[in-house]
Amino acid sequence: MTAPAPPTELFGYDYYQNPYPTLEWLRENSPMHPFRFPVGDIPLWIATRFDDVQQLLGDPRFSTNPAWASKEFIDGGMAVGKGTAIERIITMLDPPDHTRVRRLAMSTFTPRRIAQWEEPTHAVVEAELDRLEKQDQPDVMDYAGAIPAALMGNILGFPLDRFNEMIHAIERAFHTDPEDADANRLAFEEIAEYGRGLIAHKRRNPSDDLASALIEARDGEDRLDETELVAMIAVLIMAGLDTTRNLIGTSVLSLLERPDQRRLLLERPELKDTAVEEFLRFNGGVAVGFFRFAKEDLEFAGVSLPAGSPVIPAVGSANRDPRRWPDADRLDITRTGPRHVGLGHGLHNCLGAALARLEAAVAIPAIMRRFPQMTLAVPVEELRYDEMWLVRSINSFPVRLHGDGKR
Amino acid sequence: MAVLRVDPKACVASGLCAAMHPALFRLTEEGLGEPVRGDLTEADDVESAEDVAACCPGAAVAVLDSA
């Protein structure tokens, strides 16, 4: 066997620009791959095959809670939100805390309850398309970010006026620049502080919305502590904004690059729901899940892991595994094949999945319909992806809304 | 004491139920949740199933009085 090194360094600049060749190499050559994370030089593992990733996400022998993590991981500074309220986000809680907190928010996000937001979503999307059309230098990422910000703001019950600042904070929080460790913590603190301000305002102006219900669970019934309340508001903002923003952005790009799929979506609007599942599979925004820590010494995917070992579930790789999908690297919006893990799996599966699906199913077809001549304003090779480990994020996505003819 | 049901039409195959309480739920070949047993006789199991019902992203789990 030759030296076991993937074509690009994991979580390095070239990886972020196009991770798929590296992920394919890992699936074929080293499906449970040991490497050192660029931040903190921490030894960890990355799982890249569908079966392994799905099993990892549903395996109760692993936890997302850094209380289970190795000393090296904690000392390396990679515990998400360490020293801020963010360390109590639901994403990193174990049962029974996870159960208590998830119960408080889940009913707001079930498919039936989210279906009531369909008309408001159309209204937000049309208003954002009007706004996009007036811009001198229209950027799809502005459109893609404004939609989840408006919807999540409506559901929580306060306008997320500073959502653009939050998107930048989220990206700094999950950056993998080794010089940037303190910047990560400061960015998490900025998000938590924004949440605290919104909560203070909402306490004075309660209404019939999710934030008021969560405040009531804290102040009235004591089912949340103050840190958990701040963490819940913060995680709804974090998870609600940048994930959906990039799902919309990368999917619009996928369609601009594939005229046949673009035409198909316009000619057969009823395909929107299978199209969204395919977008989630193909390039679904979330690149990898949160670290999973082995809670005991165990065997996983043929590898012996000591307790505390961190494993990255590479959902973006799992979703391209040819063992599960024929022609997995081809976008096909008519696909009705097996389910993907773009919205996770197991205990921490996406709480806001129904909302993400609704936003994507409205926003992606609507921009293609409004601007049927839209083209990229720069060569596709000039687009850059942010060096952020969690989400695949296009920095800037300039377009000509009316193609080459007009502006 | 209670009847445990998973509505396959509402199930979104998130895998939450089997990850949360593998003694009460398992996944079919297609990834849909299903009860291991339809009848729950222990109060602890009823409470656990109600927790799963409240956390299920499809609102597909029902815990019904078997009276």
Chain B residue numbers with beta carbons less than 8 Å from the beta carbon of A347 are 16, 19-20
Q: Say if A256 falls within a structural domain.
A: yes
Q: How many residues does chain B have?
A: 67
The number of domains in chain A is: 1
- Tell me the pLDDT band of B67, cut-offs 50, 70 and 90: low
Q: Say if A405 falls within a structural domain.
A: no
Q: Say if A226 falls within a structural domain.
A: yes
Chain A residue numbers with beta carbons less than 8 Å from the beta carbon of B31 are 338-339
A102 vs B: CB within 8 A: yes
- Tell me the pLDDT band of A405, cut-offs 50, 70 and 90: low
Complex prediction ipTM? 0.95
Structural domain harbouring A44: 13-400
Of B62, A234, B49, A170, the residue nearest A224 (C-alpha): A234
* Sign of the dihedral through C-alpha A323, A275, A339, A356: positive
In this structure, are residues B57 and B14 in contact, taking their beta carbons and an 8 Å threshold?
yes
Q: Say if A88 falls within a structural domain.
A: yes
A2 pLDDT above the threshold of 60: no
Specify the amino acid at residue A394. I
B19: CATH = 3.30.70.20
Q: Say if A170 falls within a structural domain.
A: yes
Q: Which of B55, B56, B63 to mutate to test the interface with A (most CBs of A within 10 A)?
A: B55
Chain B residue numbers with beta carbons less than 8 Å from the beta carbon of A106 are 54-57
Q: Say if A220 falls within a structural domain.
A: yes
What number of C-beta contacts closer than 8 Å exist between A and B?
63
In this structure, are residues A20 and A283 in contact, taking their beta carbons and an 8 Å threshold?
no
A314-344 tens-digit pLDDT: 999 999 999 999 999 999 999 998 999 999 9
Q: Say if A41 falls within a structural domain.
A: yes
Chain A residue numbers with beta carbons less than 8 Å from the beta carbon of B18 are 58, 346
Q: Say if A371 falls within a structural domain.
A: yes
Q: What is the mean pLDDT of chain B?
A: 95
Structural domain harbouring B30: 2-65
Are the Cβ atoms of B15 and A54 closer than 8 angstroms?
Answer: yes
A46-59 tens-digit pLDDT: 999 999 999 999 99
The number of domains in chain B is: 1
**Option in A106, A112, A350 nearest B54 (CB):** A106
Model pTM?
0.95
A344 vs B: CB within 8 A: yes
The per-residue pLDDT for A179 is 65
A39: CATH = 1.10.630.10
